[in-house]
A and B are shown apart, each in its own frame.
Chain A
Amino acid sequence: MSHLSEDRFDQLVSSERARDAAPLNTWESIAQRAREEGLIRDHRTAMWVTPWMRAAAAVLILAGGITIGRYTEGESVATTASGEIAADTPPVSPSAPARFSNVDEAWATLERASADYQSASAFLAVNNSRASTAPDSVSIYRERLAALEELMRATASARENARRDPVINQYYLAALGAREATKQQLGAARPASFRLKGF
């Protein structure tokens, strides 16, 4: 039996080397598997719905709530922009912690609390003239900004080594958002002649 010449064979090998093939799988099959392994993440879901992210958000809400509670201490009513009494603050008693029968119920409560926190923050930022014009409100905001900046530095540093860690990422993003909000509050609270240069 004869052989193909070496030269011709080398030509064939060279052609084979340069030849690409059609992919062996469809992207859909690859993507499905990658999704199952968590390698593909829906960002809307990943950012706000995963339990770790929710837990991280809850911690920040708690911290924010403590801050609000401290600087609105003694106020039992909130006034609207027109000066009318809006309503008593809904009774949220720390001595009577909520009980939950399942995880969904707890998450639903947490989401309501988050929404309430944001609404309350917005309301206070606009209507709580007493707090915002108090002599120490600027310093409170500045202290908060400094603390948030520290938090951002720490989480940014952690992200260098754990870019895919959802908890670290959420803390970083939440701190970023809180810092921007605090800057706005500080801008609204400071005297007209005051210009923010640092904190």
Chain B
Amino acid sequence: MLIDQLDLKRAIAGDERALRRLWTRHAPHVDAVVRRLCGDAELAADISQEVWMQIFRALPSYRGDSQFGTWAHRIAVNRTLNALRKIRRIAKLEVDIEDDSALVEPDTDRTFIAESIEQAMTRLSPGARAVFVLHDIEGYTHGEIGAELGITPGGSKSQLFKARAKLRKLLAHLVDESPSVAGKAHVAPV
């Protein structure tokens, strides 16, 4: 959705109504990616607030080269990953990727039945979740993911393969209602 330029100018000038319109229009999508990356609602709420402050602070630098939602989305991803790094969750990612943690199945997974993919994602390690969300949901390429997470594109591919396998296992109880799915499965090229 193209942002109304007048609204943007007003928002930059500190007009609360204009800022609120931006937030109302884009929070459902922006907050969704924050929540997926965090895997924890309470943490996601805290980080989301930081994300929105960063979006508001950066408004004067928005040049209109991309849609406002895309621009805000990118800030949300970067800010969330930075926040997760700070609290050492991403630090665990590098270890996870090295030791193939996505294949590790704690005993609790045997009894865990996910009702949705969002629920199932909470069972992934932070690193595997980040790769899965960025690639399959957000449409990042493995090269972009590698740059964001400080891993190689190959490492990202490997992690994605394992994450998808684990998610399919966690969701195995769901009935295959429609076996044929047209179109490509993933948003991003591999």
Contact = CB atoms under 8 A, between A and B. Distances in A.
B14 A23 contact: no
A11 interface: yes
A49 B151 CA distance: 52
A14 B182 CA distance: 11
A20 B26 CA distance: 10
A16 B29 contact: no
Q: Interface residue tally of chain A, by bracket?
A: 35 or more
**Of A2, A17, A29, most B-chain CB atoms within 10 Å:** A17
Given A9-B164, A20-B29, A25-B45, A164 B13 contact: yes
Interface in A17-65: 17, 19-25, 27, 29-31, 33-34, 37-41, 43, 46
A40 B14 contact: yes
A20 to B, nearest CB: 4
A13 B137 contact: yes
A43 B137 CA distance: 41
B181 A11 contact: yes
B136 interface: yes
Contacts of B180: 7
A22 B31 CA distance: 8
B71 interface: no
B53 A34 contact: yes
A23 B178 contact: no
Contacts of B136: 13, 17
B43 to A, nearest CB: 10
Contacts of A27: 20, 23-24
A10 interface: yes
A33 B29 contact: no
B185 A13 contact: yes
A33 B28 contact: no
A6 B35 CA distance: 24
A4 interface: yes
B29 A30 contact: no
A20 B28 contact: yes
Residue with the highest number of chain B CB atoms closer than 10 Å, among A1, A13, A27, A164: A13
Nearest to B18: A40
Given A8-B176, A24-B31, A3 B49 contact: no
Interface stretch (B81-89, B92-100, B122-130, B166-174): B166-174
A6 B29 contact: no
